[in-house]
Amino acid sequence: MDLPLGYREYAGLDLQGEHLVCKLHKSIYGLKQASRQWFSKFSSALIAHGFTQSKSDYSLFTKGTGNAFIALLVYVDDILITSSSQLEINQLKWFLHSHFKLKDLGNLKYFLRLEIARSKKGIFLSQRQYTLQLLEDTGFLASKPAALPMDPKLKLSSYEGDLIVDASMYRKLTGRLLYLTISRPDITFAVHKLSQFVSQPRQPHLDAAHHLLQYIKASPGQGILFSAQSSLQLRAFADADWGSCLDTRKSVAGFCVFLGDSLISWKAKKQTTVSRSSAEAEYRALASTASELTWLTQLLGDFQTSTKDPTVIFCDNQVAVHMASNPIFHERTKHIEIDCHFIRDKVADGSVKLLPVRSNHQLADIFAKALPAPLLFSLLSKMAVINPHIPS
């Protein structure tokens, strides 16, 4: 970095020279390169200590087998350590303290604004403090609660309504709501819908965001329970809402993945191309789900957990199931991109099995469209989404 004239005089440098540059021997905290340099040094130390860096998630490091297995997850300068052996954990802490200046915060209770609580039933994940702070900052802490995250009859468009004067306020609010979806699958579709209008937000979009805040006000402590008695078998649900975008007529796809009875992954996303039929939209949703399952299977392998049984994907569209199982080309399918046929290979090699499911039992419906209250809460109860702060 160039030094100003006054600083060069203070440092005793030759003032008659050209612009001088200092070579840093140590990364300065706050620079863009600082986190990269820290992670490089930290990962090198772990690998030299016998850890293996995951190819599915480069921030995950594992070591050992059986009861001596230990896993470490790092995010910038926040570190999580888990193992069934307390001795392994203590030895790793000693190693880290001998190489870095670290602070041991004890058992995991709060991490990146995520609150973790343990019981005999399992691990409960929520963002209650983050939610209350969000409501306080937006002035909705004392607002009247709403029953639904989004009205099923509401139709939002990029061209209807008056433009908002301060668009940055809408973008900031949407960004904070996006982080809240980590523990709130019930608001995922609504936040996904609102995030489509951040470039030019209008008054109806802001009204929908305020309605969502009122829904969050009703249950700020809601979160997900990861059962202690859950199996280690993956299963997934995939769905799509055909042509639901009013502006582009693109479909919205959604999926959710369970590890036993525990919901571990979910997503709502507008598809990149227009589908000519509902079956095609569902077929593309199946391909996206299979891609997520492939990554999760590799990630479970890093934890030395695997199963010989195929992963089941539930779909409520029979035509899409037949398209994925039948490799015969047809007028309806010959225009579909090759990468969407990824699901066919997974079915053919036996790693994925497709099964039909009734529409009223399709859990992925929550991520593809706004649902009425009876169906929404019925599906949420099957996802172990609970609010422990409600009096029993």
Q: Give the separation between CA 73 and CA 247, rounded to whole angstroms.
A: 41
Q: Which residue in this structure is represented by tokens 């921030």? A: 59
| Orientation of helix 167-180 relative to helix 203-218, angle to 10° | 30
Question: Residue 184 is encoded by which pair of tokens?
Answer: 């709130």
Supply the pLDDT for residue 27: 62
- Torsion angles phi and psi, residue 61, rounded to 5: -130, 135
Which pLDDT score is estimated for 309?
Answer: 85
Answer whether 252's CB lies under 8 Å from 269's CB.
yes
Domains parsed from the chain with CATH numbers:
126-218 (no CATH), 230-375 (3.30.420.10)
Instruction: Output the pLDDT for position 67.
Output: 85
pLDDT mean by block of 10 residues, the chain; 392 residues:
46 56 67 80 94 95 92 91 93 93 90 93 95 96 94 94 94 96 96 96 97 95 92 94 93 96 95 90 93 94 86 92 75 71 89 92 95 93 86 58
Closest CA to 346 of 300, 271, 291: 291
Q: Is the dihedral of CA 7, 10, 11, 15 positive or negative?
A: positive
What is the pLDDT, as a whole number, of residue 9?
47
Please report, for residues 147, 236, 265, 268, the alpha-carbon distance to residue 376 in angstroms, rounded to integers and kept in the order given.
Answer: 11, 18, 18, 15
Nearest to 266 by CA among 352, 367, 357, 177: 367
Residue 314, number of CB atoms within 10 A of its CB: 23
**How many residues comprise the chain?**
392
| C-alpha span between 238 and 34 (Å, rounded) | 40
